[in-house]
């Protein structure tokens, strides 16, 4: 039987990730949830926040079978490299952040966890430490030896997946090749079926150019790349609509009859989703052999240790991971 426990990584230790974990512990969870982080960090942040949380130590070979009671949090202690001051980045702890992700990812691969939920990291300070890092998505792809992954954000009534993720805008068009578009579409379609339980996903696909190229007058990517690729996949039975102009696709006329939108680049699809559901959205990495969800916001260094935060996005990330795992079990 597959495990029904989950890993939680608090991300950047100087940000609000540790705060989110502590505040979340006030309520019980349906499954055992293991925070992979420093117990000292959580203890110090709890004192700063003025909250009382029973930090229960766990480790490989000693995994709990029952959820922690409200007011408690299971912690797999992961030592910091240097003490943390809330709100102040320190590149010395970059390796600590990556170690928490590695423990969670390998735990999922080894069958210790049914999935992992991640709080935000700070890409800049990790890179300043001398470690090349472009994001959770790419890091976990390398860790799991996955050739292609897909970033998808979701909120109530809308899922948006991306063909390209963290690329400068001038590089996007060159990155949209028939091969990449086909791989991403297959992953999105497959995971909507396998991990979300949607038997026949209906996917809306954005064009790259304004007005989806205006018949070639505003660009040829739709004619040369996107439409031929979609037509080939439709021939296999996939329900793909498009390429559609992005400025009209995100309207009720289209969205009420679809399971996901496939956008060509980061800022084409995500501003709409975040406007619709910021604070109640979840980031899902598709294509991995493991389940990984994340919050939809950043480290919020200015709010760390203040108690003035909302756990809404983390709760949605947890619930989504639980639902995906239940679909696979």
Binding positions for a divalent metal cation:
166, 211, 266
Question: What are phi and psi for residue 205, nearest 5 degrees?
Answer: -115, 125
- Angle at CA 114, nearest 5°, toward 108 and 119? 75
The contacts of residue 229 (CB under 8 Å, 6+ apart) are 178, 181, 182, 185
CA nearest 153: which of 242, 251, 244, 279?
279
Which three-class secondary structure state does DSSP give residue 301? helix
Binding positions:
136-137, 166, 211, 266, 274, 283, 292
CA gap 87, 275 in Å, rounded = 26
CA gap 228, 161 in Å, rounded = 20
CA gap 151, 297 in Å, rounded = 14
Binding positions for substrate:
136-137, 274, 283, 292
């Amino acid at each position: 039987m597959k495990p029904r426990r989950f890993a939680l990584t608090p991300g950047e230790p100087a940000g609000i990730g540790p705060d989110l974990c502590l505040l979340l512990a006030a309520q019980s969870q349906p499954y055992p949830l293991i925070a992979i982080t420093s117990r000292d960090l959580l203890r110090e942040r709890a004192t700063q926040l003025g909250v009382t949380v029973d930090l229960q130590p766990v480790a490989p070979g000693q995994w709990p079978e029952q959820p922690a009671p409200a007011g408690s949090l299971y912690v797999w202690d992961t030592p910091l490299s240097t003490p943390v001051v809330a709100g102040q980045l320190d590149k010395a702890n970059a390796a600590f952040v990556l170690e928490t992700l590695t423990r969670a990812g390998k735990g999922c691969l080894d069958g210790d966890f049914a999935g992992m939920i991640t709080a935000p990291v700070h890409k800049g300070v990790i890179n300043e430490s001398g470690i090349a890092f472009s994001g959770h998505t790419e890091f976990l792809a390398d860790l799991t030896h996955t050739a292609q992954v897909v970033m998808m954000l979701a909120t109530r009534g809308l899922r948006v997946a991306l063909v390209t993720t963290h690329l400068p805008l001038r590089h996007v068009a060159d990155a949209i090749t028939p091969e990449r578009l086909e791989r991403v579409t297959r992953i999105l379609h497959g995971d909507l079926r396998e991990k979300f339980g949607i038997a026949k996903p209906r996917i809306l696909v954005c064009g790259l150019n304004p007005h989806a190229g205006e018949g070639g007058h505003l660009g040829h990517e739709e004619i040369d790349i996107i439409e031929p690729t979609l037509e080939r996949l439709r021939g296999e039975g996939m329900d793909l609509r498009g390429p559609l102009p992005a400025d009209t696709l995100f309207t009720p006329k289209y969205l009420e009859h679809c399971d996901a939108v496939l956008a060509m680049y980061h800022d084409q699809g995500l501003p709409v989703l975040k406007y619709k559901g910021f604070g109640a959205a979840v980031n899902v990495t598709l294509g991995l052999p493991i389940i990984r969800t994340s919050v939809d916001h950043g480290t919020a260094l200015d709010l760390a240790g203040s108690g003035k935060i909302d756990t809404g996005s983390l709760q949605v990330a947890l619930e989504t991971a639980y639902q995906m795992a239940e679909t696979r079990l």
